[in-house]
Every structure is written in C-alpha cells, then in structure tokens.
Structure 1
Amino acid sequence: MISRHQRIVFWSLVGCILAMGALLFGERQHARDRIVALADATPLDAPYSTTESVTLDLANDADGSITATTRPIALPGEVTARARALLEHLVAEYSLPGSSHPLQSGVAVDDVFLLPLPLVGRSANSSALIASTDPNALQPQTPGGELAVINLRSTFVNAHPSGVEVESLTLLSIIGTLHTNLPQIEQIRFLVDGQPRETLAGHADLLRTYPSRDTTVQAQPTTEP
C-alpha cells in the first residue's frame, strides 16, 4: 500500500512535470511568434548586388602603363563598403601569379571613409587631412563632391616594393579605380593604421591630397638603339 508520503511526492512530481511542460510550450509559442514577426518584417537589402561589370585600372611595371580593365564582380550596395571592396579586388589582382604589378597578398585596406566637401568647420581629425599646397584641395568641384580617406593596413604598406615608379603606379591605380567607379569622389587622402605616414615605401607621398582623376597611362614605346 502506498503511503501518504509517497503519494505527496508522486503528485508533486506530476505537478512539476506539468508546470515544466506548460513553460516549454509557452517558450515555444513565443519563439514561433518572433519568427513570424521577422518573416513579416520588410526584408533588408542584400549586402551584395548581382555580378556587374566593374572597371579596374591595372598597372604594369614592365612598361609603366595603367590600363582600364573590366571585371565581373559582385559589390556591396553601400558606398563606403563598395569603395573598400573595389580596392580589395584591385589588390587581389596584383597578388595573382604572373601579375604585371606583383604585390603581396592579404588585406590591404582597413576602411574607406567618405567625407562631404568642403571640410570647412569640420574636425577631419586634424591637420593631416587639411594640409595641402593646392588651394582647391578639399573644396568641392561639383555638388555632392566627397573626400575619400583610405586607411591602409601597415602590413600591406610595409610589404610594398620600394621604388618611385612601382609606388606611384599603386597609388595611381587606386585613384583611377575609385574615379571610374565612384565619380562623386573628388579628392583622396591616405592613412596607415589610422595615422598619417610620409610615404608608401620610401618614395610616393602619402601626406598630400590627390585629385580623383583618370590615371590611365599608355605603354611607353621602346626605342631601338
């Protein structure tokens, strides 16, 4: 015969089981309601578009040329992410075997910041961005003109080949690629790990403001002796 104490324990366990079941059922219903609410919400834009034709200004060390070359690439829709992705694809081209402008593989750009021009009255993190010998620098040429601040990684800069031409070709390649694909960018500055740096690898100036422009250069003709 079951004792009174055992009956109390039994029904207590039954009560706990029923309470636990009700709790689990409530949590399940709550999770289902959240999923339905998310499904009914307006969907976010996809971070990347479908593949599109993108122009990269590719440098060639052999003849000092920069050639506009079309590539099918999927890019983000958001403009700063788009600018960074463009530059990453550009540098990736240079890390491929047989590259005409060989650079070390790896992430080259930490961020690209776009600032509306002019910068008068703005704290653009100081004189490093504002200093320039060009009186038209940091002034918009057209409504909506922007300054692009490209924050390079020191690992990329420290591994970059040294030389006047090879460094210049890298900067011109970057400038031309942004100019072609993002025409609202009118001026370009460079930082390294968020700080000003004098040169890319000992020669090309990183302290100046560069105008965004077409930088394609034809191959230099060879002269017969």
Structure 2
Amino acid sequence: MIPRYQRILFWSLIAGIFLMSAFLLRGCQQAHKRLAALNDATPIAAPTATSTEDVTLYLANDTEASITPTTESVALPQAPTLRARTLLEHLLAAYALPTSAHPLQSGPAVDDVFLLTPATNTPDRYHTGSSQSAQLAIVNLRGSFVDNHPSGIQVEGLTVQSIIGTLHAALPQVTGVRFLVDGQPHDTLAGHADLLRTYPAVDTTSHPAPPTEAPQL
C-alpha cells in the first residue's frame, strides 16, 4: 500500500505541473497578442529605389586652379534631396583619396540637403518628381567637415564651386545654392569662402589660364 505522504506528494506534483502549464500557455498567448499588435501598428517602410547611373562630378584641381566635369557611375536614389546628398557625399569623399588633386580630410561632410520651392518656401525632402523648377538648394554641411577644411581663398572657392557645379548638373531645377553648418548660418568655409550668400546654380567649369610669354625687354 502506498503511504499517504507519497500520495500527497504525487498529487501535489501533478497539480504543480498543470499550474505551470497554464501559466506558460497564458504567457505565450499574451506574447503572441503583443507581437500581433506591434506588427499591426508598425507601418512597413517603402524601399528606397537606387540604380547606378552616369552622373557628372565637377572635380577641383588645386594645382591648376580648375574645375573639370567628369562622368562617373554612381548608385543614386530617385528622391531629389536624397539624390543630392548622396551625390555630394560621393563628390567630397573623392577628395579624401590619396590621388586627389584637391585633398580634403576624410569623413562625413554633408548632413542633409533641402530643396525649397518658391511657392511654399518649405523643405521638399521626399518629393520624387522631376518637373519642379526654380528651387533653392540648402546644403547643410557637418561642422567637422568645415573645421578640418584647408584655409585659403583658392582651395575654399574650389570646394564651393565644385559643389555648386555638381548640383547644377544633377538637378537642373535648382537655380540657387545656400549653405548651413550643423543647421545654422555660418560666415565662411574656413575663413574666406562666403557661406552666407546665395550662389547661382550654374556650370562652374573653369580651366587654368594658358601660359603667356614674358614681354621682350
């Protein structure tokens, strides 16, 4: 005959097993409901389409004091502001390469690019159309890029003109370019190039002046 204390222990274990099973089942159901609610409340972000295409970069050359259009294949998103930011990051990253003719320190340079339309004068950051005209591009540079930029009239001017020419080629609807640094107005790039003015978005190609023969004495 089974002792009484063993029967009590047996049924206690059985009751504990059923109780634990009930708690586990309820916990699983609650976790499933929370996950389902989270999935329902979280919108699925649309993928950003990118495709490799030929673009024109306006590359600066310090030795020749020139800016030359160069065609490269770059993967760019379709949204104009994202396209502009990606393009400028690619442009300025090229200046950090060892073979650069306009050497700049490596690192992130552009925090954002905004496009302002005359009608609303508000940022159009995610518009994907291409029929807009007369937009103002606001290039928000990173403070670290400005702090480490070489100082000099020529080198600063070439950087600014390189950015303007590249934006003009990629976004024909942009007619003017302004600059911010960390979201705030900034007087100069590194002591010389004016960052408070609005620059016209034009072709900034420039070539070195041909050598001239010294006058005969």
Q: Which TM class, normalised by the smaller chain length?
A: 0.7 to 0.9
* Residue 197 of structure 2: aligned partner: 208
Aligned residue identity for 1:64: A
Q: Which residue is equivalent to 2:89? A: 88
Whichever residue aligns with residue 137 of structure 2, its letter is A
TM-score by length of 1: 0.77
Which residue in 2 is equivalent to 1:104? 105
Partner residue of 2:65?
64
1:80 counterpart SS class: helix
Q: Does structure 2 conserve the Cα–Cα contact (< 8 Å) formed by 1:48 and 1:77?
A: yes
- 1:139 corresponds to which residue? none
Distance 1:123 1:22, change over 3 A: closer
Partner Cα separation in structure 2 for residue 32 and residue 201 of structure 1: 52
Residue identity matched to 1:200: L
Match of 1:130 in 2: none
Name 2:50's counterpart in structure 1: 49
Q: Cα–Cα, structure 1 residues 197 and 44, in superposed 2: closer, same or farther, change >3 Å? A: closer
In 2, Cα distance between equivalents of 1:197 and 1:161: 16
1:185 maps onto 2:213 in alignment: no
Aligned to 1:162: 151
Distance 1:210 1:94 in 2: 22
Q: 1:194 aligns with which of 157, 172, 183?
A: 183
- CA distance in 2: counterparts of 1:22 and 1:106, whole angstroms: 52
For structure 1, the residue ranges without an aligned partner over 5 or more in a row are 125-141
Aligned length: 204
**After alignment, is 47-56 or 27-36 more displaced?**
27-36
Partner residue in 1 for 2:127: none
The CA distance in 1 between the partners of 2:66 and 2:112, in whole Å, is: 27
Deviating more after overlay: 48-57 vs 99-108: 48-57
2:15 is the alignment partner of 1:12: yes
Contact persistence 1:163–1:202 (CA under 8 A): yes
Shift of 1:91: 0.5
Give the ranges of 4+ consecutive aligned residues of structure 1 lying more than 6 Å apart after TM superposition: 31-38
CA contact (8 A) 1:117 1:144 kept: no
Partner of 1:77: 78
**Structure 1 range deviating more: 23-32 or 62-71:** 23-32
Q: Identity over the aligned pairs, expressed in percent? A: 49
How far did residue 87 of structure 1 move?
0.8
Offset of residue 184 of structure 1: 1.7
SS in 1 for 2:165: helix
The CA deviation at 1:222 is 2.6
2:114 alignment counterpart: 113
Q: Distance in 2 between matches of 1:191 and 1:36?
A: 39
The 8 Å contact of residues 139 and 177 in structure 2, kept in 1 or not, is answered as yes
Q: Which runs of 5+ in 2 are unaligned?
A: 124-130
RMSD over aligned CA atoms reads: 3.1
